[in-house]
Amino acid sequence: MICESQELPNILDQESIKIVQERANNIWPAEFSYLLNGWILRFSKGVTWRANSVLPLNYWGKNINKDISKVEEIYRKFNSSSKFMLHDQHDPPELLSVLTEASYKPVMPTHVMGKLFADIDIQSHDNGYSYHFMTNRDPEWYSALTRLSPNRSPYKMTVIGEIMDRVHIPQKRFFYAKNKSDIIGVVLAIIDSGYMGIMNLAVDPEYRNQGVATNLMYQTINWGKKEDTKWLFLQVEKSNTSARGLYEKIRLEDWYSYTYYEKE
């Protein structure tokens, strides 16, 4: 089913979008969640928008304005502004207009890209580097991610590590590329109920445009095929054109979009 999106053609139907959003929630688990008439309120010490926002997958409340006020009250208890993650099939449908009237502003428009594993076109390249994985977060791997994430503070990186460590039910693997003894690229792949999510792909600037990111993606996709995973998906900010170029090269498609709405 093809529907109209505010920003992108949406090639998934309503049920499929909600399934992907549920899987995405599982692979990046918040420290604490609170359910409010179907909405999932997420809290993780204020680090990452995904783990500190409302996911409106379903709604069976009777008074949307009252529930939005309740959301704001709860987030104030965590010393945080309230944020709603509005994907193309948020519930209820009028939520966007109500939030806009309540002075919520759009932030960080993001595309969700994906593909059936059988239709992904990717080849590895012999660039002289070695590729490995581990099943749990290792200090060396995480030190490399920290080094390759200069815009994240040490505090944020500590909390992100805690989020990764909370992934217990989905399967996870930490892949990395090495030039001799130095890690030059990392990526986290997490599988939940037939869907693989790609997280935190980063390559040392000195080694970019040499096929490192492509080879890391190749490693994750091979793992997914061995685990009989059906779908691959990832989330990329609209402004990240370089990452989109890589994902389009391996034939990932725009599935749907979401934007955060925040009230200061």
What are the pLDDT digits (tens) for 14-72? 888 999 999 999 999 999 999 999 999 999 999 999 999 999 999 999 999 999 999 99
Helix (H) or strand (E) holding 261: strand 253-263
Asked if residue 199 and residue 173 are part of one domain, the reply reads: yes
- Of the pLDDT bands very low, low, confident and very high (cuts 50, 70, 90), residue 120 is confident
Nearest C-alpha neighbor of 224 from the set 61, 31, 216: 216
Residue-wise pLDDT for 194-232, tens only, equals 999 999 999 999 999 899 999 999 999 999 999 999 999
Asked if residue 143 and residue 78 are part of one domain, the reply reads: no
Q: Which of 68, 91, 113 is the last residue of a domain?
A: 113
- Of the pLDDT bands very low, low, confident and very high (cuts 50, 70, 90), residue 124 is confident
| Residue 9 in domain | no
| Residue 159 in domain | yes
Asked if residue 124 and residue 105 are part of one domain, the reply reads: no
Q: Which residue has the higher pLDDT, 239 or 223?
A: 223
Asked if residue 210 and residue 158 are part of one domain, the reply reads: yes
| Residue 20 in domain | yes
Asked if residue 187 and residue 65 are part of one domain, the reply reads: no
Sign of the CA dihedral running 212, 215, 221, 223: negative
- CATH number for position 192: 3.40.630.30
Q: Which of 9-13, 173-177, 202-206, 239-243 has the lowest mean pLDDT?
A: 9-13
Q: Which residue has the higher pLDDT, 238 or 199?
A: 199
Sign of the CA dihedral running 32, 169, 20, 202: positive
Residue-wise pLDDT for 127-180, tens only, equals 999 999 999 999 999 999 999 998 899 999 999 999 999 999 999 999 999 999
Q: Which domain holds residue 61?
A: 14-113
Nearest C-alpha neighbor of 68 from the set 101, 43, 116: 101
Which pLDDT belongs to residue 7?
A: 38
Asked if residue 158 and residue 47 are part of one domain, the reply reads: no
| Residue 6 in domain | no
Number of domains in the chain: 2
User: How distant, in Å, are the alpha carbons of 15, 45, 47, 84, 161 from that of 151?
Assistant: 36, 18, 13, 24, 16
Q: Which of 72, 87, 113 is the last residue of a domain?
A: 113
